[in-house]
Structure 1
Amino acid sequence: MDIKRRKLILGGVALGAVAGVAVLRPKAQGQGGHSKYFSSVSKALDNAGFSGPTLVIDLENLQKNADILAGHLRGHYDYRVVAKSLPSLNLLDAITQRTNTNRIMVFQLPFLQKLVKSYPASDILLGKPLPIAAAKAFYFGTRAEHFDPTRQLQWLVDSPRRLNQYADLARSLKQSLRINIEIDVGLHRGGIASAEDLSTMLGIIQREPYLEFSGFMGYDAHAAKMPSVLGGPEKAITRGLDIYQSRVEQAKIQLGSAFPKAATLNAAGSPTYQLYKSRADRAPCNEIAAGSCLVKPVGFDIPTLSDHLPAAYIASPVLKKLSQTQIPGIEGLTGPFSWLNPNREQSFFISGGYWKAEPESPKGLSINPIYGRSSNQEMLNGSNKVLLNEDDWVFLRPTQSESVFLQFGDIAVYSKGEIVDLWPVMSNS
């Protein structure tokens, strides 16, 4: 093969490779600046004098979500608000009043200590087993004057060993402790998984004069992610309810008349609560716990919550705008990188960052996987179609609520074009 022909072939191959890469290049994302909605939120933040990272709650969407949840449960189950997902007394006020419930699920000792003072008429169920040291701290710490834990508080217990610890505490206090038993509903999140363990725990309660059985809790929220090859969410829920029913029947037989007529039989979670509506006639549970679906972070964009609306955003101002994206040490590749992915053409550094959140507005922003993350000045990339300047707001959607909501100070409450209130968050200390 002569040199001229070889060059022609190699040139054709190279041209084909370039054409192939060009076809595979992602399209430039972005539609300019903010939508009408986020432009309104931006203006509201500016008018209210905000200048740093802020968590924003859309009050109307929050209320709509509460109404949607209440509509699904009404006439079927009682509703218990999950405090860890809504870690603000004002936020809890808004939900408990909108859904007309006094039932709260609590996961942290500091939250428990605050809530018994702020909600003296509440019915509180622990959402996870707490170390016995936490229970002791509750009883030996500053107590709420009008909250009676012997009637209004249920400790979640998941094993005979832990139950014996709570029995020792009850004897030392000479005070009744209500015990709710966590059961494994087939998803192995924790809780008792055998009839033998349940029999042992019920036996301990029967022998201990200061222990009172109050009911069961079976958490199944992660059933919503069960793959179809394993039967999907529907099969997981059905199996879980069968297990739940067998535990209830066992307890009724063993306890007899001591089984409480108003037992708390708690189940579900935000991702699965809507799957219970069609099962109301045969489900052994009588109340549903949910919280995150009311603010709907990204992690809850799932089919079972398709009728819920996003109600929480992180707003952060743009500190710096660069017309290109340069990676330290490989600046010479800036041009090729931008050509390969036009969505890396511009760089925007925002105040703060590294949150459990994803860019939401303007459309087309993304986190650079090579440059690295920063909790001080996070870099976001966008194509030249993204229109942002210094001091403009960027909006991100949290992927979860419980830990993210605690990182910004007071929550800015947005309603009808204005920031209408500031809601302090609770702390974990």
Structure 2
Amino acid sequence: MDKTFYFTSLNQRLRAQNRAIPTLLIDLDRLDHNIALVQQQLKEGADLRLVVKSLPSPDLLHYVMERTGCQKLMVFHQPFLSDLAQHLKDNVDILLGKPMPVRTVRYFYQHFAKNPDTHFDPYRQVQWLADTPKRLQEYALLAAETGKKLRINLEIDTGLHRGGFATPSGLRAALQIINQQQHSLVLSGLMGYDPQVVKLPRWLSSPAKALAKANQIYREFIQIIREEFPALWREDLTFNGAGSPTFGLHQNSDSPLNDVAIGSAFVKPTTFDIPTLADFQPACWIATPVLKKMRGTKLPGIGQLPHWMSAAFLFLGESYFIYGGYWKADYCYPPDLRINPLFGASTNQSMLNASGQHTLEVDDFVFLRPWQSEFVFLQFGRILTVRNGEVSGEWRLLRQ
């Protein structure tokens, strides 16, 4: 679809809404396209696990889960976990994407309120991530307090070097703790995140070599569990890894993963304009109304810029003040919009300049494309969904 037609059509639909405020949009047709690509590129035999921080809306998660058959989530924030636990079915598995302080884990269980309409079991359905022997011991003491076993997934370092168990001896020490604490802890698997595979400079390593190295480390760690700790081994252990940048690479590699985490690929903010996601379509936008329009450019202490300056710098031809701004996002329509360098960005009323080549009036909407979804989405009170160019519904965001 022609870009100008796409955004001018969205502008008309938004102008017909009963309120004009900064709004997050998700294009369901583009989302469906990305869902289909994920299903085509997902490693055979591996389960999909949705990354909640990148899709922080219960309605968005439900939409993708229904269309993919996914029953697994990765959560990075305790309030999100508490919110989701009120609505999830008893067949959904949650893996924490980062280690939680033991006080936060205790708080979650102390404040877990059972919803009579759901059957979510916070002990059976949650895998807590542990990265050090100390944290394992803390979790074991908490389990003793609650009288319930905690499921423990061990974070392993497959080359990212952001923490976790990095050596065979380190993993053995962790497994020994779990082995000794089987009355309190249950091993649920391993998690090894591998974004370095596509982010390393090419002079340092190619993606193929980096992936092969990460997979080899992962296989060695799995082998340690299977051969040296048979009491902890189960065929249903979770071996999670990948992410939006790398999940497609696992499809045709000797990957040990049986559980693949994907989030941002479904909505594709600008950070994910990368070769491995080249066929995916941007599916999320920020739309915000123009509050004020001025001919030329006036600046504090200077006033109206002289005509010659506007003629020399065409982008100063018109000025607009928009509702809000300063999001982690790029202006994408009209195409020649830019932040005024002297005013700078503002969370209240950002000043934009444009050449005037595209007609833009007060109450029209300008469009931005987020850099990421995990933080930016949460700055809006709702998501408006778009289907076939029409505003089709409203989704809520997770509670913080």
Aligned to 1:10: none
**3-state secondary structure, aligned to 1:319:** strand
The more displaced of 86-95 and 257-266 is: 257-266
**In the alignment, residue 227 of structure 2 is paired with which amino acid?**
I
What SS does the aligned partner of 2:350 have?
A: strand
Counterpart residue number, 1:23:
none
| 1:103 and 2:72 aligned | yes
Deviation at 1:339, TM superposition (A): 4.9
Q: Deviations over 1:97-129 (max 9, x none)?
A: 011011011111111112122112211100111
More off after superposition, 143-152 vs 206-215: 143-152
Q: Name the aligned partner's letter for residue 327 of structure 2.
A: W
1:210 aligns with one of 184, 203, 211: 184
Other structure's SS at 1:205 match: helix
Higher alpha-carbon deviation: 264-273 or 223-232: 223-232
Q: How big is the shift at 1:185?
A: 1.2
Residue 104 of structure 2: aligned partner: 134
Q: Are residue 178 (structure 1) and residue 124 (structure 2) matched?
A: no
- What's the counterpart of residue 257 of structure 2? 285
1:336 shift after superposition: 6.2
* Residue in structure 2 matched with residue 244 of structure 1 by the alignment: 218
Give the Å deviation of 1:340: 5.0
Structure 1's 348 and 258: CA in aligned 2 closer, same or farther, altered over 3 A? same
> 1:36 matched to which residue of 2?
5
**Deviation above 4 Å: which 4+ runs of structure 1?**
330-337
**1:256 and 2:214 equivalent?**
no
Using a 3 Å threshold, how does the CA distance of structure 1 residues 416 and 211 change in structure 2: closer, same or farther?
Answer: same
Question: What is the root-mean-square deviation of aligned Cα atoms in Å?
Answer: 1.8
Q: 1:218 to 1:425 in 2, by over 3 A?
A: same
Q: Please give the residue correspondences for 1:141-152 in structure 2 after superposition, counting only pairs within 5 Å.
A: 141-144=111-114, 146-152=119-125
| Contact 1:326–1:334, Cα closer than 8 Å, also in 2 | no
Contact 2:129/2:152, CA 8 A, preserved across alignment: yes
SS in 2 for 1:229: coil
**Residue type of the alignment partner of 1:41:** L
Structure 2's unaligned 5+ residue stretches are none
The aligned counterpart of 1:275 is 249
Greater fraction of residues in helix: 1
Q: What is the aligned length?
A: 394
Give the counterpart of 1:310 among 268, 282, 287: 282
Pairing 1:1-400 to 2, within 5 Å after superposition: 35-73=4-42, 75-121=44-90, 122-144=92-114, 146-208=119-181, 209-279=183-253, 282-331=254-303, 338-339=310-311, 341-400=313-372
| Greater displacement, 329-338 / 125-134 | 329-338
Please say which of residues 53-62 and 359-368 is displaced more in the overlay. 359-368
Q: Give me the TM-score of the superposition, normalised by structure 2.
A: 0.94
Q: 2:379 matched to which residue of 1?
A: 407
User: Taking structure 1 as reference, are residues 92 and 332 closer, same or farther at Cα in structure 2, changes over 3 Å only?
Assistant: closer
What letter is aligned with 2:53?
A: K
C-alpha displacement of 1:251 = 2.1
Amino acid in structure 2 at the alignment position of 1:256? P
Identity of aligned residues (%): 44
Q: CA deviation at 1:74?
A: 6.0
Relative to structure 1, the CA distance from residue 112 to residue 381 in structure 2 (aligned partners, 3 Å threshold; closer, same or farther) is: same
Partner Cα distance (1:222, 1:362) in 2: 35
Contact 1:120 1:144 in 2 (8 A): no
Deviates more, 1:161-170 or 1:145-154: 145-154
Amino acid at match of 1:187: L
CA deviation after TM superposition for structure 1 residue 325, in Å? 2.7
**1:203 and 1:213 mapped to 2: Cα distance?**
11
Q: Which residue of 2 aligns with 1:417?
A: 389
1:130-188 Cα shifts (integer Å, max 9, x gaps): 11111001111133352223331100111111111101101111111110001111111
Question: Unmatched 5+ residue regions in structure 1?
Answer: 1-32
Supply the AA of the counterpart residue of 2:61: L
User: Which region of structure 1 is more displaced relative to structure 2, 390-399 or 40-49?
Assistant: 40-49
- After TM superposition, the score normalised by the length of structure 1 is 0.88
Task: Indicate how the Cα distance of structure 1 residues 74 and 228 shifts in structure 2: closer, same or farther if over 3 A, else same.
Answer: closer
Give the Cα–Cα distance (whole angstroms) in 2 for the partners of residues 47 and 133 of structure 1. Answer: 48
For residues 395 and 193 of structure 1, what CA distance do their matches in structure 2 show?
A: 44
User: Given that residues 78 and 286 in structure 1 are in contact (C-alpha distance below 8 angstroms), is that contact kept between their aligned partners in structure 2?
Assistant: yes
Equivalent-residue separation in structure 2 for 1:206 and 1:180 (angstroms): 13
Structure 2 letter corresponding to 1:125: L
- Give, in angstroms, the shift of residue 252 of structure 1: 2.0
User: Post-superposition shift, 1:268?
Assistant: 0.7
Structure 1 position 337, deviation (Å): 5.1
- Whether contact under 8 Å (1:76, 1:277) holds in the other structure is no
Moved more, 318-327 or 369-378: 318-327
